[in-house]
Amino acid sequence: MPPPCQIGWYGLGSMGLAMATNLQNHLKSKMGLNLVYSNRTISRGAPLEAIGAVPEPSFEKLVQRCSIVFTMVSNDAVLDSLVSTAMGSGESLKDKIFVDCSTVHPNTVATAAARFKEKEASFLSAPVFGASPIAAAGKLVFAIGGPRAARETVKPFIQDVMGRYIIDCGEDVKKSSLLKIAGNIVTVSMMEIVGESQVFAERTGLGTGVMEELITEAFGPVPGSYSKRLTTGIYAPPLDSRPGFRVSLSIKDADHALAIAKESNVELPGLEVARNNMVAAREYAGECLDSSSMYGVLRRKAGMAFWNEKSRQGGS
């Protein structure tokens, strides 16, 4: 375990807030420290402040205060902006460690790593696998890449704190980012297949209940959890709620995978179908949709309503 140090966090979406909460609980109980956090909307951190974490509205000041800074943001542009803010803070970044847990393009993390290296700081790419309930349970899988010393320093703040398993991708930060994008090919394609299976089950009269039982027991809890997103209406949640994983983020992730595949002369027809269905879902029902919302489009293609009984419009 490294000696006590100040740790910061930026990014409090559904995933980030759950992860930061687990980290704060660990720091407070095991080390007598409190996490310093920031976010575009600082009020999102109220649950963190309630358990002892310290708000810092300025990311620049957060960087100055902390020796390790975790980020969990929505896209490449936000990460680029945070890197520029850190670089322009006027303070020495020497020996600081920046750990990005977002899903961004490998070139984005490579650029960030090179910029921080110029300032004698370390940058780690540490994207995660798992939805927000998995994050809340501290059971995420992390892929981590970057300088060895920095990897070893941050692992104790990840293993059995925010995650159940760490895949060490070595010195190259691009490898962990690439692994995350490859994993998303499986995730998005699996949601498409589960959605197709459940539409088939409903239209043939088989029923979604027994289909979900089969998916869970024969193919495992992960596809089973995807099925539950559909049957419980989470794919199209109420407009005043936050989707488990926003469809626009999933489209962004699919676009990264498809662009890299094209550069590498690889075809991903299943992912293309899923991506197009997600786009169609967003065009039909707006931004407040889960990544599994291709299910609504599949329902419409089969002559049913986009909405099922548990979704926000109750099948109307």
| pLDDT in 10s for each residue of the chain, 316 residues | 334 589 999 999 989 999 999 999 999 999 999 999 999 999 999 999 999 999 999 999 999 999 999 999 999 999 999 999 999 877 799 999 999 999 999 999 999 999 999 999 999 999 999 888 899 999 999 999 999 999 999 999 999 999 999 999 999 999 999 999 999 999 999 999 999 999 999 999 999 999 999 999 999 999 999 999 999 999 999 998 888 889 999 999 999 999 999 999 999 999 999 999 999 999 999 999 999 999 999 999 999 999 999 999 874 4
Backbone angles phi, psi at 38, to 5 degrees: -145, 160
Q: Is 175 exposed, middle or buried (0-12, 13-18, 19+ CB in 10 A)?
A: buried
What is the CATH code for 7-171? 3.40.50.720
What is the CATH code for 178-301? 1.10.1040.10
Sequence ranges of the domains in the chain: 7-171, 178-301
Element (H, E) at 70: strand 68-71
Q: Provide the total of helices (H) and of strands (E) in the chain, helices listed first.
A: 13, 9
Q: Measured on CA atoms in the order 264, 266, 268, 269, is the torsion positive or negative?
A: positive
Q: Is 118 exposed, middle or buried (0-12, 13-18, 19+ CB in 10 A)?
A: exposed
State pTM to two decimals: 0.91
Q: Measured on CA atoms in the order 57, 63, 65, 66, is the torsion positive or negative?
A: positive
